[in-house]
Structure 1
Amino acid sequence: MPLQKIAESIQAGLDGRGFDGSLKFDCGEDGVIVLADNTASTQDRDTDCELRLSTENLQKLLAGKLNPMTAVMMGKIKISGDMPTALKLAKLLG
């Protein structure tokens, strides 16, 4: 699935829910998805926190088929930046 479609589905999930802070899903050559100001976009920018993962693992994460903590421990997700922002994402997904 192209990142633009994934960003649109994230945006639909954000409707009515707040996400304080900014977070970037960096999927390497496939591109990025940035969550900031309660919007999901494929426009790259600096964020509070960055998660580096494959597009496939991003889809699994968003579908609830990949446990975030297990994925980090197995090296499927690499986190840099503000850790509390990453934890806010876990609440949003849960």
Structure 2
Amino acid sequence: MSNIQSMFDTMASRFDSAAAGDLDAIFQYKLDEGDAYYATVSGGSCNVQQGEHDDPTVTLLMDSETFQEVLEGETDGMQAFMTGRIRAEGDIMLATRLATLFPV
């Protein structure tokens, strides 16, 4: 199993269904190196899959180091976005909910 895959497994294991409520969204992750993954949040559950979704709600672009730092709580996701380490396309406001959906 790749390091990237294990990072997404870690993220999925932290999913907070109470924070999700009735959210229905697809978070596409594109890392500068490695494969793309997406997290489907629907009905209070989260499913992470490898690949690119046809119609993601928001797409997040970053390098794997930034993703790992955000996952480990070393870097604040919002701060990384403001400094250009994370780029977002689509429903950018939805990306602001990631910290509550996947708490460190």
Higher helix share: 1
How far apart, CA to CA, are the structure 2 residues paired with 1:93 and 1:9? Answer: 9
Deviations 1:34-66 (A, max 9, x none): 110411111221310011000110010111111
CA RMSD of aligned residues (A): 1.8
SS in 2 for 1:84: helix
1:90 paired to 2:99: yes
Partners of 2:82 and 2:49 in 1: CA distance: 27
Q: Which has the higher strand share?
A: 2
Amino acid at match of 1:13: R
The counterpart of 1:34, out of the listed 23, 31, 38, is 38
Taking a change above 3 Å as real, the CA distance of residues 93 and 12 of structure 1, as seen in their structure-2 partners, is closer
1:17 is matched by which residue type in structure 2? S
- Distance between the aligned counterparts of 1:78 and 1:25, measured in 2? 10
- Segments of structure 1 that go 5 or more residues without pairing to the other structure are none
Max Rg structure: 2
TM-score by length of 1: 0.83
Cα distance between partner residues in 2 of 1:52 and 1:87 = 14
Name 1:25's counterpart in structure 2: 29
- 2: distance between equivalents of 1:12 and 1:24? 17
4+ residue runs over 6 A deviation? none
Question: How many aligned residue pairs are there?
Answer: 93
Identity %: 20
